[in-house]
């Protein structure tokens, strides 16, 4: 392989088609040494299987720099490793706790689990500031609406990752929290003035990126900074702002170029060339490996015809080489946890009492959980929802759809009449699913002593001024359901504080 083609491969990270390294992919990697890999749900059969996969990937690079093996292990709804690791609540739950030392401990535990899996880069923490209440692409992935809190807790979590030997990657630069459209589905446009954006959305990045090892771009059109090009493809954003004004010297990863924000705007391969020219150092491709090979060849052609300067490519490859030379080695699979139980501790401390009382008698309650199979952007496909009944077997439970049809309220009310139990309503984005809010209102009218729990973004609490007892948990994963049970039935006090100022959110 000639030097130019090797440099082109060294700025492309790819996605593998399954949970193991097949012979064809292994043969390709030995002739096309990509910068690295991003692991997704289809690559994860078990912790042990992931470690076998990552060991196999490293063996393909035995004679050179180790590959980046990256993952989205944020906590909350965006995690790829589930079994065999500490389950962590959402970053908004950490925002409700507000404890930087806790955030650092969480980062240290995530790092240990990732190194057990053979991963060396985490695409976290999220530095996006919550601004738009209908933003489901970020939502509870954000620490909250206060840029100072996002900076403090994001920096602490990143410190924990770094201390644990994992490269943290701040995302999504320059800030995705003001969008309503999910960039997995289309290109979001932000129409706010530059002064507001810099003082709010950009502030955590400005504070933390100098000296940081890595950042990930956002596929957003921020008209105040560049009215024509998405941030990922904008020299003004990735070179003038990121490098010159902020002083960032680490590796700039793009978000996946297979997201519709890029596919619809320019196309994957064309987007890779434009991103590199704009100042990105590694383009993430999450489609077929054959397309990644095409992308490498097209990068070479772009340098040869002058579309992409060779100096820019060499600079990007050099930054990737520096990062790869710094990557830590894996830990043994049986390495003991450094902070066992920190996920449930964080979730328990995050539970926020908005009003009323936070305790309940499990033997006298019927849980009504609004839930459905979803497939949403970075969260991916979700089929299973942890049950409070597993934490308190004396409970009874009714599961209703996220967007219930007419007649569901009558069914729930009939069941409540049959059992003579107090309802506990587990709400999931009722501010986005109005039928869910209507059913809950019907239940509250008939049972004013019902306890309402917002399990995702806390905006649901504004929908139920009639609720006497109202809690927020900010996540519905195993750690948060366990922490919620500790508060509802175990006597733990609800210590969290709302991490979102409603007046600051549209």
Residue entry with tokens 């759809």: 401
Residues 145 and 289 in one domain: yes
Query: Can you tell me whether residue 402 is helix, strand or coil?
Result: coil
Q: Does some domain include residue 335?
A: no
| Active-site residue flag, 255 | yes
Between 173 and 501, name the one with better pLDDT. Answer: 173
Residues 353 and 212 in one domain: no
Residue 402: phi, psi to the nearest 5? -60, -40
Residues 298 and 389 in one domain: no
Instruction: Give 321-346 as a DSSP string.
Output: HHHHHTPPPPPPTTPPPSSTTHHHHH
Q: Does some domain include residue 334?
A: no
Residues 114 and 150 in one domain: yes
Of 7, 3, 29, nearest in space to 16 by CA: 29
pLDDT range class, residue 271, cuts 50, 70, 90: very high
Bridge partners, residue 170, by sequence: 215
Parent domain of 316: 3-325
Q: Does some domain include residue 330?
A: no
pLDDT digits (tens, 9 = 90+) for 371-401: 988 877 788 888 788 999 999 999 999 999 9
Is the pLDDT at 352 greater than 70, yes or no? yes
What percent of the chain is modeled with pLDDT above 70?
Answer: 98
Residues in contact with 22: Cβ distance below 8 Å, sequence separation at least 6, in sequence order: none
pLDDT at 506: 46
pLDDT at 186: 78
Structural contact between residues 344 and 482, judged by C-beta atoms closer than 8 angstroms: yes
Is the pLDDT at 504 greater than 80, yes or no? no
Tell me the whole-structure pTM to 2 decimals: 0.96
pLDDT digits (tens, 9 = 90+) for 180-199: 767 787 788 888 999 999 99
Segment 313-328 mean pLDDT: 98
pLDDT digits (tens, 9 = 90+) for 19-68: 999 999 999 998 999 999 999 999 999 999 999 999 999 999 988 899 99
Residues 311 and 394 in one domain: no
Residues 273 and 366 in one domain: no
Q: Would the CA dihedral through 74, 79, 84, 88 be positive or negative?
A: positive
Structural contact between residues 190 and 196, judged by C-beta atoms closer than 8 angstroms: no
Task: Give the range with max mean pLDDT: 1-10, 250-259, 377-386.
Answer: 250-259
Q: Does some domain include residue 336?
A: no
Both structure tokens of 209: 């990126």
Residues 318 and 379 in one domain: no
Side-chain-side CA neighbours of 15 within 13 Å: the count stands at 21
Residues 81 and 157 in one domain: yes
Of 441, 443, 477, nearest in space to 460 by CA: 441
The last residue of one of the domains, among 265, 293, 325, is: 325
H or E stretch at 375: strand 374-376
Query: Can you tell me whether residue 351 is helix, strand or coil?
Result: coil
Which CATH number characterizes residue 382's domain? 3.40.50.1700
The last residue of one of the domains, among 325, 360, 390, is: 325
Segment 444-465 mean pLDDT: 96
Segment 243-261 mean pLDDT: 96
Catalytic residue among 99, 113, 182, 255: 255
Structural contact between residues 131 and 144, judged by C-beta atoms closer than 8 angstroms: no
pLDDT at 313: 98
The last residue of one of the domains, among 325, 357, 382, is: 325
Which CATH number characterizes residue 120's domain? 3.20.20.300
pLDDT at 503: 56
Residues 305 and 230 in one domain: yes
Is the pLDDT at 489 greater than 80, yes or no? yes
pLDDT at 183: 73
Residues 203 and 348 in one domain: no
Is the pLDDT at 505 greater than 60, yes or no? no
Classify each residue of 349-383 as buried b or exposed e, where b means 16 or more C-beta atoms within 10 Å of its C-beta.
bbbbbbeeebbbebeebbbbbbbbebeebbbbebe
Number of independent structural domains in the chain: 2
* Least confident among 70-74, 183-187, 468-472: 183-187
Residues 69 and 200 in one domain: yes
Give, as one character, the DSSP assignment of residue 67: P
Q: Does some domain include residue 337?
A: no
Q: Does some domain include residue 285?
A: yes
Rounded distance, CA 464 to CA 437, Å? Answer: 8
Residues 272 and 414 in one domain: no
């Amino acid at each position: 392989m000639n030097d130019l083609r090797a440099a082109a491969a060294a700025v492309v990270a790819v996605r593998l088609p399954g949970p193991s390294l097949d012979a064809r992919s292994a043969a390709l990697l030995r002739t096309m040494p990509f910068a690295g890999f991003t692991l997704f749900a289809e690559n994860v059969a078990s912790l042990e299987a992931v470690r076998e996969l990552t060991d196999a990937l490293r063996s393909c690079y035995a004679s050179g720099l180790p590959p980046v093996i990256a993952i989205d292990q944020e906590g909350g709804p965006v995690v790829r490793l589930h079994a065999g690791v500490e389950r962590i609540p959402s970053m908004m739950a950490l925002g409700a706790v507000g404890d930087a030392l806790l955030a650092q401990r969480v980062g240290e535990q995530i790092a240990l689990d990732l190194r057990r899996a053979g991963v060396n880069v985490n695409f976290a923490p999220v530095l996006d500031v919550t601004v738009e209440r209908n933003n489901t692409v970020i939502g509870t992935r954000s620490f909250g609406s206060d840029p100072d809190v996002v900076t403090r807790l994001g920096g602490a979590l990143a410190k924990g990752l770094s201390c644990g030997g994992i490269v943290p990657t701040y995302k999504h630069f320059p800030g995705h929290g003001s969008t309503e459209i999910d960039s997995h589905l289309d290109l979001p446009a932000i129409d706010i003035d530059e002064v507001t954006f810099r003082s709010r959305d950009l502030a955590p990045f400005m504070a933390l990126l100098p000296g940081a090892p890595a950042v990930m771009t956002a596929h957003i059109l921020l008209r105040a900074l560049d009215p024509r090009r998405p941030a990922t493809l904008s020299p003004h954003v990735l070179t003038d702002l990121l490098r010159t004004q902020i002083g960032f010297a680490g590796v700039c990863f793009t978000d996946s170029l297979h997201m519709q924000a890029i596919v619809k705007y320019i196309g994957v391969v064309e987007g890779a060339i434009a991103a590199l020219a704009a100042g990105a150092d590694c383009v993430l491709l999450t489609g077929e490996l054959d397309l990644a090979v095409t992308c490498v060849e097209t990068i070479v052609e772009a340098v040869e015809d002058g579309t992409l300067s060779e100096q820019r490519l060499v600079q990007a490859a050099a930054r990737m080489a520096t990062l790869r030379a710094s990557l830590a080695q894996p830990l043994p699979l049986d390495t003991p946890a450094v902070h066992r139980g920190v996920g449930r501790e964080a979730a328990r401390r995050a539970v926020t009492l908005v009003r009323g009382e936070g305790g309940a008698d499990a033997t006298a309650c019927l849980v009504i959980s609004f839930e459905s199979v979803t497939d949403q952007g970075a969260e991916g496909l979700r089929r299973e929802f942890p049950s409070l009944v597993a934490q308190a077997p004396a409970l009874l439970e009714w599961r209703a759809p996220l967007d219930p049809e007419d007649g569901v309220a009558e069914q729930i009310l009939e069941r409540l009449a049959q059992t003579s139990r107090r309802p506990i309503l587990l709400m999931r984005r009722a501010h986005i699913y109005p039928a869910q809010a209507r059913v809950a209102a019907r239940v509250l009218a008939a049972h004013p002593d019902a306890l309402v729990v917002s399990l995702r973004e806390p905006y649901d609490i504004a929908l139920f001024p009639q609720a006497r007892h109202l809690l927020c948990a900010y996540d519905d994963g195993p750690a948060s359901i366990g922490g919620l049970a500790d508060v509802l039935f175990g006597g733990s006090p609800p210590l969290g504080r709302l991490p979102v100022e409603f007046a600051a959110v549209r």
